[in-house]
A and B are shown apart, each in its own frame.
Chain A
Amino acid sequence: MDITVNILLTIATAATPLLIAAIGELVVERSGVLNLGVEGMMIMGAVGGFGASYLTGSPWIGLLAAIAMGAVFSLLFAVMTLSLATNQVATGLSLTLLGLGLSGMMGTSFVGQPGERLPNIDIPGLTSIPVIGRLLFGQDPIFYISIALTAAVMWFLFKTRTGLTLRSIGDSHTSAHALGIKVIRYRYLAVIFGGACAGLAGGHLSLVYTPQWVENMSAGRGWIALALVVFASWRPWRVLAGAYIFGAVWIGQLHAQAFGIPVPSQFLSSLPYLATVVVLVLISRNKRLTMMNTPASLGQPFVPDR
């Protein structure tokens, strides 16, 4: 029983950064903006979070710093693509490259310094309940944030008027503009929200997952998050499912290896990617629904002509 709980906890830790970054990017893409800079914003969040926690001694301040770092860094993207109408794909890619380099430079003095881990939640009486206690009431705070965030984004996008407006901008920014909606302002807020999420995901890496700073520590997780959004056809609950399938298969294959199952490890390593894509493609097989959920003006720059 103990091992099952441990495995589930490990899966949650592996899935959380993917989920947070992907949910943020989902909101950005729903507003019609494609930000390929997730990896860059994530790593900036990781270095900012670790740095603040290291300098102040408080991982909670680190957590806030990670969010702020991601948000500020995404502002750069917002100014370029929204105000100056640059190409979103190119700008996003350069944001990633810039983030990877800049974070390495900023983090030079943190290399080789152990960090403090954000403590797990501990509710007297509840956390000690066997099995479900640790799963429901004993994880790290960012895990709960990630679940709450997913629920909040679902509610916001599909149950509120502002959410509807945001989606309408993503579908046709010219129509939205003609209706008097402030397209650019909405998109700015969406991009900054996405950046804050990516920063938080990065903070999870350097404050919870592996409490340390090393260059490139995001190791491609931003790209996985990006892919999750597309394969989940821009639906929040599918992003959640995708992140957890990825995490589960990833942890499962490590256990399979440790157990000594005679399957080539290279195949096992690629399994999380395969499984996630297959499952998400299967649940997205309704073409009409997928079309409806795809933001029609995704990636197109918007320049109001009057």
Chain B
Amino acid sequence: MKKLLIALMTTTAALSLAATAEAADKLKACWVYTGPIGDFGYSYQHDQGRLEVEKALGDKVETAYLENVSEGPDADRAFERLAREGCKIIFGTSFGFMDPEVKVAKKFPKVMFEHATGYKTSDNLGIYNARFYEGRYVLGQIAAKESKAGVAGYIVSFPIPEVVMGINSFMLGAQSINPNFKAKIVWVNSWFDPGKEADAAKALFDQGADIIVQHTDSTAALQVAEERKLHGFGQSSDMIKFAPNAQLTSLTDEWGPYYISRVQAALDGTWKPDNVWLGIKDGAVKLAPFTNMPDDVKAMAEATEKKIAGGWNPFTGPVAKQDGTPWLKDGEVADDGTLLGMNFYVKGVDDKLPQ
């Protein structure tokens, strides 16, 4: 029974490998996604980046990807298989691929590895990430301006630093407009389950929130906002088609330029493990056009976006932790290390962080 299951799973995994294996002198660049590329969210955006690589570098590269790879030890096999199949550079696109990638990178010292949103590096493993929190600060400001109740509903997946950082930045943005702004937080313990996300949005609206923010990947929550004639923000890709009257803006990921530069470096032989954290100014984090809001709010959002692009960090003091103890002094800017390991809330967040 168990053997059969494993056999079945490997077959499907093999089928889902979209390989275009041919000439050996081409550089093979490979991607591993945790979700389906059809999620119209996080994995979809990474795959758009892969397609941009194909388009930009043409017949100098061939690409392949594995989708729906579950995070954790199971991912070992995915990376190992790609490495054995001749992939020269492999991008792991989810936080949970960190340890598997570290392990496989050690086994294949000649293969170049890149890992998104993690913090472990080695001689042939670089990391890259996007400063989504920058965009979330702008969302917070818009929410505080646009919410009549002064309460936002925030749908989140898992308590990892990336998500906690996003909540904090959103709250700092909101508090800069309305110091008494509240966010109700619901953890759905899943990156991708449209039904659950819709249910969470309904629950939050029923409890008095009138703006929805999400750190999950589907368009379901925005559709609920559209139905209830309330507002919300999109995530990962521009979701305006799903909520033409509800979407205020969307926090989108643009991985293409980074992927092109890294694959190009691999082609040139200049690739080195990197540690980059790209933000609004690099074009890796983008805000979809500001819609469904008055002009003054739009102007404010654009000004903030510009300020952040100019190098200002939303995590600039004075900022206190949730329990009131000071964290950042006046004018002090949080260092990247603290942000990447963030496991505490700032003052005003009305939730207990799951441990």
Contact = CB atoms under 8 A, between A and B. Distances in A.
Interface of A: 3, 6-7, 10, 13-14, 17, 89-90, 93-94, 97, 101, 104, 107-108, 111-114, 117, 205, 209-217, 219-221, 250-251, 254-255, 257-260, 262, 264-266, 269
A170 to B, nearest CB: 23
Given A113-B241, A255-B206, A269-B189, A264 B199 contact: no
B84 interface: no
Interface of B: 1, 4-5, 8-9, 12, 15-16, 35-40, 44, 68, 153, 184-190, 192-200, 202-204, 206-207, 209, 218-220, 223, 227, 237, 241-242, 350-352, 354-355
Contact of A214 (B38, B186, B227): B38
B147 to A, nearest CB: 15
Contacts of A104: 36, 38
B207 A258 contact: yes
Contact of B15 (A17, A101, A251, A260): A101
10 A-B pairs closest in CB distance: A215-B36, A265-B187, A215-B38, A254-B203, A219-B193, A210-B194, A210-B220, A269-B189, A111-B38, A257-B186
Given A216-B192, A258-B200, 6 more contacts: A112-B44, A209-B195, A210-B223, A215-B39, A257-B185, A262-B352
A183 to B, nearest CB: 26
Contacts of B184: 258-260
21 contacts: A3-B207, A17-B195, A101-B16, A107-B38, A112-B40, A209-B195, A210-B218, A212-B220, A214-B38, A214-B39, A215-B38, A216-B35, A219-B194, A255-B203, A258-B153, A258-B185, A259-B207, A260-B184, A260-B351, A265-B354, A269-B188
Nearest to A87: B4
Contacts of B15: 101
Contacts of B153: 258
B206 A217 contact: no
B84 to A, nearest CB: 23
Query: Which of B186, B195, B197 has the most chain A CB within a 10 Å cutoff?
Result: B195
